[in-house]
């Protein structure tokens, strides 16, 4: 199983809608609002890294209200 963590900045007033929509996505395992430089933390898992990255590129980054994302690929050691 491959894991990606996504840190997101969200437009003011869009936080509730973005979090709700994230929770309905198939490969999204966890969604949390956070304090600091980012607004939302998302954990995405899938069988192949290409599938997980596709969720970020084709779905998460295109969501209305999303200002920016930072994608962290988990490396198993």
Which domain does 59 fall in, by range? 2-73
CB 55 within 8 A of CB 25: yes
Whether residue 77 is predicted with pLDDT greater than 90 in this model: the reply is no
pLDDT at 34 (0 to 100): 97
Q: Which two tokens stand for residue 33?
A: 């609002």
CATH number at residue 48: 3.30.70.920
pLDDT higher than 90, residue 76: no
Number of compact structural domains in the chain? 1
* 10-68 confidence digits (pLDDT tens): 999 999 999 999 999 989 999 999 999 999 999 999 999 999 999 999 999 999 999 99
Task: List all residues 6 or more positions away from 17 whose beta carbon is below 8 Å from its beta carbon.
Answer: 64, 65
């Amino acid at each position: 199983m491959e894991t990606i963590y996504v840190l997101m900045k969200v437009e003011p007033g869009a936080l509730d809608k973005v979090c709700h929509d994230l929770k309905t996505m198939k490969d999204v395992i966890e969604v949390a609002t956070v304090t600091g430089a980012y607004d939302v933390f998302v954990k995405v898992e899938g069988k192949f890294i290409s599938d997980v990255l596709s969720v970020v590129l084709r779905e998460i980054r295109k969501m209305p209200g999303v200002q920016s994302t930072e994608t962290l690929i988990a490396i198993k050691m």
